[in-house]
Amino acid sequence: MRFLIVARIDEPSALACAKAIYRLLADSGHQVVCDEETAAGTGLSGATIQDADAQVAVVVGGDGTILLAVQRMKVQIPVLAINWGEVGFLAGLEPAEAVPFLKRMKEGFPVEERMRISLSQDGVYVGDALNEALIVTARPAKMLRFVVSIDGVQAEQFRADGLLISTPTGSTAYAMSAGGPIVDPRLTGVLLVPLAPYLLSARPQLIGADRTIEVRLTGGKPATMVIDGQTSVEIEGSGIIGVKVSPEPARFVDTGKNFFSRVNEKLRSL
């Protein structure tokens, strides 16, 4: 098989793990290449994530590293994520499990798809998110005014410090910290979670992914939208954020672990 290796570059132990996995796979007869940043940290051969012709991306890092790798892929290839972070909700394997799993991994492995959301500003595409898009004020201590429309009908309006537009996968990330529910990632829906709303009636909402969702800023205050913690988009005073299901879902190698068992395990470790 053809493997791409991506590692957390600010952690020497993650780079060492990536190097060991590279040697293991190469010695087993597989074609292996690192992304450019991992290659620079390990001295191994490298290519851009976009240009790597791989069947599997082995990502050694935390959720941030995984999100960055997914965002950089032009075409989504299955990700086998090894947790080298604080919690690692997106990771399917812990470090001790990686080598045994890779040794028995063969072509035809099962893959789990995770929906992403496609985001636009005033009709112009700005990016896809696997976890969430965060809209916050560009001025500290200022609140934003939001109007949410679903299928062309105004469904909610509120003032808040910000708004999280999350996928089911992202429900265990910032959305959970902000009081949102944990959502089964097999569902397709969009979770809206207001951040510190002025009125308690503004509650999290889970909306069917087949609906047309628009979020309008009306207060005239500048805001910033951050996509998966990686990309920032400035919103000057007003704007309409369109939300729909991305045609290109993220793909993860199915390691056979139950989602709810993993969530329980991760939450107990915090």
Catalytic residues: 63
Question: Cα separations (Å) of 171 from 9, 92, 137, 213, 266?
Answer: 26, 17, 22, 18, 14
Question: Cα separations (Å) of 267 from 26, 86, 211?
Answer: 36, 11, 32
- Can you tell me the distance from the alpha carbon of 174 to that of 257, in angstroms, rounded to the nearest whole number? 23
Sign of CA dihedral 80, 12, 25, 76: positive
Among residues 115, 130, 193, 122, the alpha carbon closest in space to that of 156 is found at 193
Q: Which amino acid is at 63?
A: D
Q: Is residue 172 helix, strand or coil?
A: helix
Among residues 7, 245, 261, the alpha carbon closest in space to that of 119 is found at 245
Q: Which amino acid is at 160?
A: A
How does 116-141 read in b/e, with b if 16+ C-beta sit within 10 Å? bbbbbbeeeebbbbbbbbbbbbeeee
Contact 58, 80 (CB under 8 A): yes
Q: Give me the sheet containing 46-47, strands edge to edge.
A: 46-47, 31-35, 2-7, 56-61, 79-83, 250-253, 111-114
- Can you tell me the distance from the alpha carbon of 3 to that of 33, in angstroms, rounded to the nearest whole number? 6
